[in-house]
Amino acid sequence: MRILVTGAGGQLGCELVAILREDDVHAFDHRTLDITNEAAVVATVRQIRPECIINAAAFNDVDGAETAEQAAFTANAQGPANLARAAAGIDAALIHVSTDYVFDGRKGTAYTEDDVPNPLSVYGRSEYEGERRVLESKARVCVLRTAWLYGRHGKNFVKAIRDAAGKGRPLRVVADQVGSPTAVADFAEAIARLMQTPARGLFHVVNAGACSRQEFAKAIVRGRSRWFLSPAPRLAGRRAGRRTAH
Ligand SMILES: NC(=O)c1ccc[n+]([C@@H]2O[C@H](COP(=O)([O-])OP(=O)(O)OC[C@H]3O[C@@H](n4cnc5c(N)ncnc54)[C@H](OP(=O)(O)O)[C@@H]3O)[C@@H](O)[C@H]2O)c1
């Protein structure tokens, strides 16, 4: 399948490019395709004519977004809207990734797709607006909400805790945030499988189980970070395919 990946330099983007190596993948990082540049998005999509676009690009700095509201909304709402418009123009499918930050965390149990979002942060509001804009577009869209991604590439909680613990200082980690840590390799694999189906709409995609940030940190410090960050073994030996980096 011919696939265009945006945000290919990030944690998820890198994993997607690795997992989809049997496909004809055209991978764009922030430098080579800024999704907020509508003209560039339309021209690139028209040139490549992908069957599927996967948007792994986002303004992902939750704290930083509080003082950079416009930048967060431009990247997380306007950018996905540009991709949806371009996808609709060539009848490509669009898989757009969103976040559990669209919820306020007051439910006390796991959120489902039927729960009504109530984002509390600028980041959460910008992602919710991105969801709304792609779901209301004319494109064939899947919005996948995920949470607490960690993997080999980029920055994540596992690496931050492991590095802090390595410095030998006591760690202070909150116990009142609960979520589902999700291996980015598993999430990318789920995207690869979903692409083969006609599924459309909104889906929650996380690894099974839940824990607090503190419980997660304790597991990481107990020495399991090597396992957390190891490549997915089931991918070994897959046939190499075409990949085009831009
Ligand atoms: N990480 C998590 O725990 C988590 C949890 C829930 C949902 N998500 C969602 O999962 C998706 C992937 O997250 P991730 O962890 O892979 O994030 P990431 O590592 O921060 O990757 C995001 C990438 O998007 C790029 N980017 C930012 N603005 C862009 C723009 N205007 N045009 C093109 N590229 C742009 C960034 O490049 P620069 O760094 O050069 O700006 C970065 O390489 C995002 O939608 C995120 O909201 C992540």
What is the pLDDT, as a whole number, of residue 168? 82
Determine the average pLDDT of the residues in 123-138.
98
Structure confidence at residue 56 as a pLDDT band (50, 70, 90):
very high
Residue 233 pLDDT greater than 80, yes or no? no
Which parts of the chain fold into alpha helices (H)?
Answer: 11-19, 38-48, 62-65, 69-73, 79-90, 122-135, 157-166, 184-194, 213-219, 225-229
What is the pLDDT, as a whole number, of residue 169? 78
What is the pLDDT, as a whole number, of residue 154? 86
How much is the mean pLDDT over the chain?
91
The residue nearest atom 32 of ligand 1, judged by CA position, is 34
The residue nearest atom 8 of ligand 1, judged by CA position, is 99
CA 58–ligand 1 middle distance (angstroms): 4
What does the angle CA 237 – CA 241 – CA 243 come to, to the nearest 5 degrees?
125
Ligand 1 lined by 44 (C-beta under 6 Å): no
179-229 pLDDT, tens digit per residue, is 999 999 999 999 999 999 999 999 999 999 999 999 999 999 887 555 555
How many CB atoms sit inside 10 A of residue 201's CB? 9
Q: How far is CA 56 from the centre of its chain?
A: 5
- Taking phi over 0 as left and psi of -120 to 50 as alpha, with beta for the rest, 148 belongs to left
Determine the average pLDDT of the residues in 19-27.
96
81-125 pLDDT, tens digit per residue, is 999 999 999 999 999 999 999 999 999 899 999 999 999 999 999
Q: Residue 30: which of 12, 53, 9 has the closest Cα?
A: 9
Report the catalytic residues: 123
Determine the average pLDDT of the residues in 221-238.
51
Ligand 1 lined by 50 (C-beta under 6 Å): no
Ligand 1 lined by 72 (C-beta under 6 Å): no
154 vs 181, higher pLDDT = 181
Ligand 1 lined by 97 (C-beta under 6 Å): yes
